[in-house]
């Protein structure tokens, strides 16, 4: 188990590597020259986008916060090299520290137990990413764009959809 905390991040983004239908999705962030890339599922990217958007909207309403809308033309949302997945993500959590006005994104490693392995002896790795509301709003907007760039119907995942016997 390892715990990594980037506080605060210089950048945070979601991107893909590979052709449509075979793309790998990555959540990537960096701070002070360190880059962390995590493998996520397409639906996790969608959930991050939607949940961040809802959370930020709610924070703006309830706390009367200043505008967090980024100028996307000025945001560099491309993945940075090297894109090497540290681990595949199982769970993602979000939080907000009002005192620091920073959003927390927590990603936990997917651990697959071997037969007979005691789950209490396994500790997944965790990455904590602290970013501004503007950075997280940009992540939300960009992630939704990345998700939409795939096939119109993700059920067409290279499988035969209709057949006759």
Is residue 154 included in any domain, yes or no?
A: no
* pLDDT for res 153: 55
What span, in angstroms and rounded, lies between the C-alpha atoms of 98 and 109? 27
Is residue 127 included in any domain, yes or no?
A: yes
**Residue 91, CB half-sphere, CA atoms under 13 Å: how many?**
7
* pLDDT for res 71: 93
Judge contact between 88 and 39, C-beta under 8 A: yes
**pTM for the predicted model, two decimal places:** 0.87
Is residue 95 included in any domain, yes or no?
A: yes
Q: What is the mean pLDDT of residues 118-143?
A: 94
Q: What is the mean pLDDT of residues 103-129?
A: 90
Q: Which residues of 132-142 are buried (b: 16+ CB within 10 A; e: fewer)?
A: bbbbbbbbbbb
| CATH number assigned to the domain comprising residue 129 | 3.30.2450
Is residue 103 included in any domain, yes or no?
A: yes
* pLDDT for res 164: 42
95: pLDDT strictly greater than 60: yes
Is residue 155 included in any domain, yes or no?
A: no
Range of lowest pLDDT (18-27, 41-50, 78-87, 99-108) = 18-27
41: pLDDT strictly greater than 60: yes
Q: What is the mean pLDDT of residues 35-47?
A: 97
Is residue 164 included in any domain, yes or no?
A: no
* pLDDT for res 65: 83
* pLDDT for res 139: 98
pLDDT-above-90 percentage for the chain: 74
Is residue 160 included in any domain, yes or no?
A: no
42: pLDDT strictly greater than 60: yes
* pLDDT for res 151: 59
Residue 126 burial (CB count, 10 A): 17
- For residue 23, report the phi and psi dihedrals to the nearest 5 degrees: -70, 145
Tell me: the pLDDT tens digits for 61-90? 999 888 899 999 999 999 999 999 999 999
What span, in angstroms and rounded, lies between the C-alpha atoms of 58 and 165? 53
Judge contact between 133 and 56, C-beta under 8 A: yes
Is residue 159 included in any domain, yes or no?
A: no
What span, in angstroms and rounded, lies between the C-alpha atoms of 62 and 23? 38
**Residue 67, CB half-sphere, CA atoms under 13 Å: how many?**
3
Tell me: the pLDDT tens digits for 141-163? 999 999 998 755 555 544 444 44
What span, in angstroms and rounded, lies between the C-alpha atoms of 103 and 121? 31
- Domain tally, the chain: 1
Domain around 106: 3-148
pLDDT-above-70 percentage for the chain: 90
């Amino acid at each position: 188990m390892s715990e990594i905390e980037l506080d605060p991040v210089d950048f945070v983004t979601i991107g893909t590597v590979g052709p449509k239908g075979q793309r790998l999705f990555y959540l990537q962030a960096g701070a002070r020259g360190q880059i962390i890339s995590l493998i996520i599922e397409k639906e996790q990217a969608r959930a991050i986008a939607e949940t961040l958007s809802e959370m930020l909207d709610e924070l703006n309403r309830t706390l009367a916060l200043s505008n967090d809308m980024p100028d996307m033309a000025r945001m560099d949302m491309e993945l940075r090299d090297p894109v090497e997945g540290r681990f595949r993500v199982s769970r993602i959590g979000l939080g907000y520290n009002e005192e620091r006005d920073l959003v927390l994104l927590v990603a936990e490693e997917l651990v697959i137990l071997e037969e007979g392995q005691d789950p209490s002896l396994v500790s997944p790795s965790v990455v904590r990413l602290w970013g501004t509301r503007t950075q997280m709003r940009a992540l939300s907007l960009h992630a939704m764009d990345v998700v939409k760039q795939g096939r119109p119907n993700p059920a067409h995942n290279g499988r035969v959809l209709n057949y006759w016997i």
